[in-house]
Amino acid sequence: MRRLLIGAVTVTAVLLAGCSTRSDDTTGSDAAHDASPTTSGSGAASADFGTLKDVCGPGTAKSSTSQGVTTDKIQVGVMSDIGFTKNSEFVDAAKVFTSWCNDAGGIDGRKLVAVTRDSRLTQVRQAVLEACKSDFALVGGGSALDSLGVQDRLKCLLPNFPGQSSQIGAIGSDLQVMASQPVAGYFQYAGYYTWLLKDKYPDSAKKVGIIAGDSPVTKVMSAQFKEAVAGLGGTVSYSDLYPAAGVSDWTPYAQSIKNKGVKGLVFLGDFASLAKLEQALTNIGYTPDWIDANSNAYGPAFLQLAGTALAKQHNYAELFATAPLESAASNPATQQVIDLYKKYAPDKQVTYPALRAFSAWLLFATAARDCATLTRTCVYDNAVKNTAWTAGGLQAPYDLTAKEPTKCYSIVEATGKGWQAADFQPDQGAYRCDAPVYKYKADYGKPATLASVGKSMADLK
């Protein structure tokens, strides 16, 4: 959630430059809208993914009257801000998954066709309306300002299996099936912050600082984190905003953090700015106990930008309950994603959002596979009845029937040698599964419902 939202920090500053926070990919969108089935042309692929058997494969598909479905293909949309961010990670994940699935035989013989729906950050409604005209569902994508299109999506009864969901109006909205967190109305990082404030750095609990980009989006996030830190036994003793347009000199912010004695720092902004702040902190000789760099920074670009500051500053990030990429040697499912990228998109990087997108694609594919007659109702019902979804081993078990966050979480740490698993004492494989549940007391908004657009589940066909 934070990765996409933080990418939109600069939206309110007249779409200022620097909104794209994952600068490791400069692929544009013009070539990403091909609506033809994708295959490698290299013959049949294994139909299994991790512990999931026969995800894709040949078959004799029955006729269907559902939009986007023919006897030989299933057309789905992939939401992406690629036209604005130039970041193609959701588009890449769609290409890799559909190529593999189609090489294995498709969904009961139907080829998957992924059409990029470019929301260009602020054009979410237009992208959703295009999807409403011809797509069977939305799968494996995400837009930073996704709540802008949720009412239109519900009006046209379009199911969504997003890789990530960002805004309050969209998280937990009807006909949206998340393969993992977030869950509407709950702090998603309760286990992570309990570990930081009580287990790893108890002396930091009363000296937490928050720095956020000056935008309505991150101001809400800042309020949520302040409430949650207090609810988990901590105290936010310092908070500040930085201009969404960027900061030329981070030294004054670093000095304020030092003067306030901040021991734990929450940074709600782009990772390039965080790297500069950490360099400033290092230059004045100050090191908080911990910095929540968040999953937005999880990747090689932040490591390169932070440079020598990583030897002094202690950066952590929670990956919800997803196995880190660094665990691939001991996690066959993660290694399989890496191998599939090498085969189908060798010039693209596997990222944390790509892993989440793969989980969404797998959830959709298995739900569609099990439909005797492919309809939106059948796919949705099959997906939401999963009580221990692991995406074949990409993540800890997630109960899609539950209304609370999972108790499992994974934490990584940035070091001079790269990202690695933190010493957070996992108790179930790569995960620790003792997270408390923290439900927000303040009202930050509600997810959209079918009833809000005059529809109900009875209208879904």
Number of domains in the chain: 2
Torsion region of 447: left, alpha or beta (phi above 0 gives left; psi -120 to 50 gives alpha): beta
Helices 89-103 and 352-369 cross at an angle (nearest 10°) of 40
Residues 89 and 179 in one domain: yes
Residues 180 and 225 in one domain: no
Q: What is the largest CA-CA distance in the chain?
A: 69
What is the per-residue pLDDT across 220-244, written as a single tens digit (0 to 9) for each? 899 999 999 999 999 999 999 999 8
Q: What is the pLDDT of residue 36?
A: 55
- By residue range, what is the domain housing residue 171? 2-185+333-400+446-459
Residue 430 falls inside a structural domain? no
Residue 127 falls inside a structural domain? yes
What is the per-residue pLDDT across 79-103, written as a single tens digit (0 to 9) for each? 999 999 999 999 999 999 999 999 9
Calpha distance 6→24 (Å, rounded)? 16
Residues 237 and 207 in one domain: yes
Residues 163 and 198 in one domain: no
Residue 426 falls inside a structural domain? no
Report the predicted TM-score, pTM, of the whole model to 2 decimal places: 0.92
CATH code for the domain of 349 = 3.40.50.2300
Question: Rounded to whole angstroms, what are the CA distances from 203 to 234, 334, 413?
Answer: 10, 36, 19
Residue 441 falls inside a structural domain? no
What is the per-residue pLDDT across 367-406, written as a single tens digit (0 to 9) for each? 999 999 999 999 999 999 999 999 999 999 999 999 899 9
